């Protein structure tokens, strides 16, 4: 039976695809093969690529604020004790959402920052924050200083309050890991959480056989958690690696690297249209995450690309992987560096086992099926 699905997004699922855009694009593309999908989304100025095939797309142009406007928004958010930007995003989307009344069976709201759309929905709905928002703000506060840290700490409290209230109207709240679901229920035990992991289009990451060299880390390099991991890798781990492999080179590839990243002893490549060639050319993928939430798609993509990987246990949250089987897991700098050296010298069967794991446990088709089952469950009722 075809389901009429309304997907509400704070960013249009158009290229460049990363983060929530990638999740929405992959999910909507597969949903539209067998169901009727309408996407209502904010369209940002950098979004010029084609939307998912088969979806009805209703976009609301959304320009960034001026510098003065951004500071004014911060002040208003402090006074209202709410996350900055949520009110503006919801106000922009709500008229288009209300116009869909009577035309859909179920709604899917992505991400948590537009949970305020709940009153505009006239059908059963799921909210998919995917991870725990306030923990990401905590990481941003830890990586900041001075007035910015004070602001981020105030936002942490506002986001915790928002999460505990704004998700309540939804029939289900979808997270990508059990730990994220547990953390969210500590704010509001009444929330009905469901865990559906992210997927990876593993076939598109199939390695092309090129020669491999160097140590790679990827991600949105302006993210505090990713910046912290990159700095740790360059300043504390790679010097130990080079004691054993003197010519080992670090490559940092990702979006919007700031001055601190660009000053590191590494090859920094910014804003590439396609990460896959960099993954295919890496000898080791290093993911020394100390903070952050959710499943690390960057690690799953590296595993799908057949790169031997070394990661912290936090980077592996939400994954059922084992040290020495699909990848190496290490915590402190010395142990992490030794594992990187081992992979540089003798990667063994890690790459093949890692790719098999992604194919078996993180296909987008399986993720889509899980969401369709959820839509039918909430639209029919208990």
Tally of CB atoms within 10 A around 34: 13
Reported confidence tier of residue 382, pLDDT bands at 50, 70, 90 = very low
Flag whether pLDDT at 137 surpasses 70.
yes
- CATH match of 202-361 with 3.90.930.60: no
Sign (positive/negative) of CA torsion 261, 14, 370, 10?
positive
pLDDT digits 0-9 by tens, 257-292: 999 999 999 999 998 888 899 999 999 999 999 877
Identify the architecture of domain 4-199+363-380 in CATH.
3-Layer(aba) Sandwich (3.40)
Q: Pick from 308, 346, 349: which is nearest to 329 by CA?
A: 308
pLDDT tens readout for residues 219-231: 888 888 899 999 9
Give the other-Cβ count within 10 Å of 173's Cβ. Answer: 24
Residues of the chain with CATH 3.40.50.2000: 4-199+363-380, 202-361
- Note the pTM of the prediction, 2 decimals: 0.85
Q: Which two tokens stand for residue 23?
A: 């999740």
290-325 confidence digits (pLDDT tens): 877 777 889 999 999 999 999 999 999 888 899 999
Structure tokens of 280?
Answer: 């295919």
């Amino acid at each position: 039976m075809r389901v009429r699905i309304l997907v509400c997004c704070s960013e249009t699922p158009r290229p460049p695809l990363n983060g929530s855009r990638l999740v929405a694009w992959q999910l909507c593309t597969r949903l539209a093969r067998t169901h009727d999908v309408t996407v209502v989304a904010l369209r940002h100025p950098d979004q010029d690529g084609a939307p998912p095939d088969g979806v009805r797309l209703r976009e609301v142009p959304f320009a960034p604020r001026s510098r003065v406007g951004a500071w004014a928004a911060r002040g208003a958010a402090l006074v209202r004790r709410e996350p900055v930007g949520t009110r503006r995003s919801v106000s922009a989307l709500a008229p288009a959402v209300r116009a869909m009344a009577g035309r859909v069976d179920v709604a899917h709201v992505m991400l948590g920052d537009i949970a305020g759309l709940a009153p505009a929905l006239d059908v059963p709905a799921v909210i998919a924050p995917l991870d725990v928002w306030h923990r990401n703000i905590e990481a941003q506060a830890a990586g900041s200083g001075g007035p910015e840290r004070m602001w981020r700490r105030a936002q942490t409290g506002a986001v915790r309050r928002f999460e505990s209230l704004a998700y309540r109207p939804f029939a289900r709240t979808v997270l990508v890991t059990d730990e994220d679901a547990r953390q969210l229920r500590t704010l509001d035990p009444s929330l009905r959480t469901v865990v559906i992991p992210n997927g990876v289009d593993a076939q598109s990451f199939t390695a092309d056989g090129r020669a491999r060299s160097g140590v790679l880390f990827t991600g949105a390099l302006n993210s505090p958690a990713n910046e912290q991991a990159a700095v740790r890798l360059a300043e504390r781990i790679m010097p130990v690696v080079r004691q054993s492999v003197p010519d080992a080179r670090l490559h940092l590839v990702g979006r919007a690297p700031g001055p601190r990243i660009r000053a590191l002893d590494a090859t920094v490549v910014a804003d590439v249209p396609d990460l896959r060639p960099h993954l295919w050319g890496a000898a080791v993928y290093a993911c020394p995450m100390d903070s952050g939430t959710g499943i690390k798609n960057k690690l799953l993509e590296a595993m799908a690309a057949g790169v031997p990987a070394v990661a912290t246990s936090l980077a592996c949250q939400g994954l059922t992987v084992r040290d020495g089987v699909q990848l190496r897991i290490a915590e402190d700098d010395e142990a992490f560096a030794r594992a990187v050296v081992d992979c540089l010298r003798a990667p063994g069967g890690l790459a093949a086992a890692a790719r098999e794991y992604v194919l078996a446990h993180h296909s987008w088709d399986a993720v889509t099926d899980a969401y369709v089952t959820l839509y039918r469950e909430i639209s029919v009722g208990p």
